[in-house]
Structure 1
Amino acid sequence: MTPLNVRSWAEEVAVLMATRLGGTRRGEVVDLDTMLRRRGGALPRKLYKKAVILRDAETITNAPKIARQTDFSDAAQAHADLVAYLKPFGRVTRMQEKATNFAASVVFGLLMLGIAIIWVLVWQDYL
């Protein structure tokens, strides 16, 4: 586990957080620290702590002498857990959620329209 691996792990987790949880503008490239500040609260507590471990490990890689002496096994485990949580929520799942939300909105609108029509009919003494 080299410091370059840790940086790539942090970038991967930041990209997954941006695509899954939002918090970025179109075309914006963010790092893990920024994503934790913006959308870290959307992660479960245990995974947030692991993301902090990964962020701290990435910070350590900025000092080459310290990075060569550091064991990054905790960062590797944190990366694996975060990717396992964030990976399954892909484009298909988001599209299904959008379709479900749209269908629910249409059904709710029709229900409100039906209630309004019945209320008008009762108010005009047709029912």
Structure 2
Amino acid sequence: MTPLNVRSWAEEVAVLMASRLGGVRRGEVVTLDVMLRRRGRALPRKLYRKAVILRDAEAVTNIPKIARQTNFAPAAQAHADLVAYLKPFGRLTRVQERATNFAASVVFGLLVLGAVILWVLVWRGWL
């Protein structure tokens, strides 16, 4: 378990949190620290604590001397638990969200089109 592994684990958990829990703008690159501040409380309490352990382990990797002396086994367990919780909700939920968003945009477009047609009819005096 090297510090590079811990960084990749934190990135993976941050991406999974962003896809599952939201809270990310389009094109924005997120870190685990940012995701914990934005959407961390959406996790169950035990998993939130594990995410904090992983975040703290990632912060330790920025200090090489301390990183060599640190045991990253709790971070590995935290990563495994977080991925096990966040991963299954990915594919089907994302497909359902995309379909719902598409249907909502079509309905909104039809609503705007109907309002414009009604406005034109009133403006022309036909209604």
TM-score by shorter chain over 0.5: yes
Unaligned runs of 5+ in 1: 101-127
Tell me how far 1:27 sits from its aligned partner: 0.7
| Cα deviation, residue 92, structure 1 | 1.6
Alignment match, 2:89 = 89
Spell out, residue by residue over 1:31-82, the C-alpha distance to the aligned partner (whole angstroms, 9 max, x if none).
0000000000100000000000000000000000000000000000000000
* C-alpha displacement of 1:90: 1.3
Distance 1:90 1:9, change over 3 A: same
Instruction: Give the match for residue 65 of structure 1.
Output: 65
- Which digits, 9 at most, give the CA deviation of each residue in 1:8-44, with x for residues without a partner? 0000000000000000001100100000000001000
Number of residue-to-residue matches in the alignment? 103
Q: What is the letter of the counterpart of residue 63 of structure 1?
A: I
Q: Following TM superposition, by how much is the alpha carbon of 1:96 offset from its aligned partner in structure 2, in angstroms? A: 3.7
Q: CA deviation at 1:94?
A: 3.6
Q: Counterpart in 1 of 2:9?
A: 9
Between the aligned residues of both structures, percent identity stands at 85
Instruction: Give the CA RMSD over aligned residues.
Output: 2.0
TM-score, normalised via structure 1 length: 0.75
Give the structure 2 partner of residue 29 of structure 1.
29
The unaligned stretches of length 5 or more in structure 2 are 101-127
CA distance in 1, matches of 2:10, 2:47: 14
TM-score (norm 2): 0.75
